[in-house]
Amino acid sequence: MSVDTVTTRPTTAAEVADLVRRAQQESLPITVVAGGHGVWSYGPGDGLRIELGELSSIEIDGLALDGEDALVHIGSGAVWGDVAAALGADGLAISSGDTASVGVGGLTVGGGIGWMVRAWGLAVDQLVGAEVVTAAGEVVEASADENADLFWAIRGGGGNFGIVTRFDFRAHPLDGVVLGEHVIGGDAASAMRAMRDVMRDAPRELTVTYMDVPAMDPSAPAGARITAVWADAETERLREVMAPITAVDGVESEYTTPAYREILQEMPDAPDGAEPPGFLGGNGLFVELDDALIDRLVAFRVAYPVSVVFLRSLGGAFGDVPQEETPFPGRDANWFIMAGAFDVPGVVDDDMRARILADWAGISAARVAEYGNFVPVERSDGAAGMHAAEAYERLRAIKREWDPQNLFARNHNIAP
C-alpha cells in the first residue's frame, strides 16, 4: 500500500536517528536528500523524506594534520560553494565537486571527482572520519580506528550503509588557482588530442576538462572548450604547460586568477520546478583516451544536435590510492568521460534514440567502471558495475552487517 510523502528537516544527528527508528517501526521507505542538487533531488513520491539542509555547519579544527593540513568538520547538508567560501577565508580548500550547489553528503559517499582530483584525490580520499546514523537508529563514529568496515564502505559505496550526518576532512593550504579557458573554434579532434598528450606527463597541480554542449544546456556556454585549473597562483607556469593546446588552430585562450570558490559552477534552477529532460547515454572511467575513442566522441557530438560530450582528467593523486583502500573503482583510469543526448520531445524520435544508445554502447565498451554520482536514476541493477568485483562482494557483506533489512534502498542499491 502506498503512503504519502512526509518531509522532515532534522537539525541534529539525534533527530535523524529518531526518524530512522520511526521509519523502521512504521515500515516507511526513506529518501535522503543532502544538498538537493540535480534530478536526484526529486526522489520518489512516498514515504519519509529526510532533508539534511539544516545540518550545514562548517568548522575548522585547531588540530593540524601532517603539518599544514587542517581538520575540518562539515555537516552533510552543507553545499560545496559554502564550504569553499568558508575554507577559502583561511587559505584552505578540499577536493570536492565542481558545482557550488552540490551537497557534501551525496557527492562524498559516491566518491567526489572535482577540480583538485589530480592534486589531492577524490573527496573520499581526504575523509578521516564521519558521524553516521545506522539502520538501527544509532549514532556511531566511523574512522580507520572505529567501525573501520563502515568507514571503508561510505568512501564510495553510496548511501547504502547509513545516513552520514557529519564528515571529517583534511583541508589543504591553497595559495590560489589559475583558471585557463580555451575556446575551440577549429577542429575539435585536434584540440582533444593535444589535451590528451599534455596530460600524459602533466604536473598533478593541473586538472582539465573538455566540454562540448548545445545552446540548450544551461551548464556551460555553447560549443567546445577546454578548461584548465592549476592548483597554485602560477599563471605563467600554466601557460607553459598548456602551450601545445593553445597552438592548435582555432583555439583562443584566456587566463585568470579567481578565488577557488569562483571556479565552482553555478547551476540555474529548472524553470517553474520542472524536471529536466531524460538523458540518453552514460559515463565511465577510462584508462586510455586513444585516437579511435576521440574520433567516436567528436562524431557523436556532430551527429546529434542535442548531445553533450564531457571529459575530465584523472591520474595524479587519484591514482596514488591503492584500489583496495576504498570501494571507488578504476584507480588506474586517466579519464572520466560522459556522452549522451537530451531526450527532447519533438527533437529525438525512436530511430534517433536507438542510434544514440548504440553509439554510446560503442563508446562505453572500453570503460573500466561507471561513476555512480553521474547516473541520474536509481540503478540497483548497475551497482555492481560501479565497483570492482571484490569490492562489491565486500560491500554486500558490510551491508548485511549494518542494514540487513535494506532500509537504505533508494540509491544505487547494494542488496545485503
Domain with residue 303: its CATH number is: 3.40.462.20
Would you mind telling me the total number of residues written for the chain in this entry?
416
The CA distance from 414 to 72, in Å, is 30
Query: Does some domain include residue 413?
Result: no
| Per-residue pLDDT reduced to its tens digit, 291-336 | 999 999 999 999 999 999 999 999 999 999 999 999 999 999 999 9
| CB neighbours of residue 214 within 10 Å | 16
Contact criterion met (CB below 8 Å) for 72 and 58: yes
| pLDDT at residue 118 tops 90 | yes
Average pLDDT in the 363-389 region?
Answer: 88
Query: Residue 381's pLDDT is what?
Result: 72
The CA distance from 279 to 282, in Å, is 8
Query: Residue 275's pLDDT is what?
Result: 65
| Per-residue pLDDT reduced to its tens digit, 277-291 | 789 999 999 999 999
| pLDDT at residue 42 tops 80 | no
| pLDDT at residue 99 tops 70 | yes
Q: Are residues 155 and 260 in the same domain?
A: no
Nearest to 33 by CA among 22, 24, 44: 44
The CA distance from 178 to 234, in Å, is 7
Q: Are residues 107 and 125 in the same domain?
A: yes
Average pLDDT in the 9-13 region?
Answer: 97
Query: Does some domain include residue 410?
Result: no
Q: Are residues 304 and 209 in the same domain?
A: yes
Q: Are residues 267 and 197 in the same domain?
A: yes
Integer angstrom CA distances of residue 305 from 179, 215, 337, 341: 28, 9, 19, 8
CATH code at position 78: 3.30.465.10
Residues 6+ away with beta carbon under 8 Å from 105: 32, 34, 35, 52, 76, 77, 159, 164, 167
Give the confidence band of 2 by pLDDT, cuts at 50, 70, 90. very low
Average pLDDT in the 367-395 region?
Answer: 89
- Taking each continuous run of H as one helix and of E as one strand, the counts in the chain are 12, 16
Average pLDDT in the 341-366 region?
Answer: 95
Rounded to an integer, what is the distance from CA 191 to the centroid of its chain? 25
Q: Are residues 226 and 187 in the same domain?
A: yes
Q: Give 166-210 as a DSSP string.
A: EEEEEEEE----EEEEEEE-S-HHHHHHHHHHHHHS--TTEEEEE
Contact criterion met (CB below 8 Å) for 170 and 70: yes
State the number of CA atoms in the 13 A half-sphere of 266 facing the CB: 4
Q: Are residues 141 and 217 in the same domain?
A: no
The CA distance from 16 to 218, in Å, is 35
Percent of the chain with pLDDT over 90: 83
| pLDDT at residue 1 tops 50 | no
Q: Are residues 210 and 296 in the same domain?
A: yes
| CB neighbours of residue 306 within 10 Å | 20
The CA distance from 97 to 82, in Å, is 12
Rounded to an integer, what is the distance from CA 199 to the centroid of its chain? 21
Average pLDDT in the 373-378 region?
Answer: 85
Q: Are residues 186 and 328 in the same domain?
A: yes
The grid coordinates listed for 12 are 541534529
What domain count does the chain have?
3
Query: Does some domain include residue 162?
Result: yes
Query: Does some domain include residue 414?
Result: no
Average pLDDT in the 109-127 region?
Answer: 97
| pLDDT at residue 171 tops 50 | yes
Task: Say whether 276 sits in a helix, a strand or coil.
Answer: coil
Give the confidence band of 44 by pLDDT, cuts at 50, 70, 90. low
The residue range of the domain holding 88 is 58-174+379-402
Contact criterion met (CB below 8 Å) for 124 and 108: yes
Query: Does some domain include residue 127?
Result: yes
The grid coordinates listed for 14 are 539525534
Query: Residue 221's pLDDT is what?
Result: 81
Q: Are residues 30 and 150 in the same domain?
A: no
The CA distance from 56 to 54, in Å, is 5
| pLDDT at residue 258 tops 80 | yes
Integer angstrom CA distances of residue 139 from 20, 77, 144, 410: 11, 17, 17, 20
Give the confidence band of 64 by pLDDT, cuts at 50, 70, 90. low
Query: Does some domain include residue 412?
Result: no
- Compute the mean pLDDT over every residue in the chain, rounded to the nearest whole number: 92
Q: Are residues 35 and 92 in the same domain?
A: no
Give the strand pairing for 223-230 and 278-286.
Answer: unpaired
Q: Are residues 229 and 367 in the same domain?
A: yes
Query: Does some domain include residue 304?
Result: yes
Q: Are residues 164 and 205 in the same domain?
A: no
| Per-residue pLDDT reduced to its tens digit, 201-235 | 999 999 999 999 998 766 678 899 999 999 999 99
| CB neighbours of residue 275 within 10 Å | 9
Query: Does some domain include residue 416?
Result: no
| pLDDT at residue 272 tops 60 | no
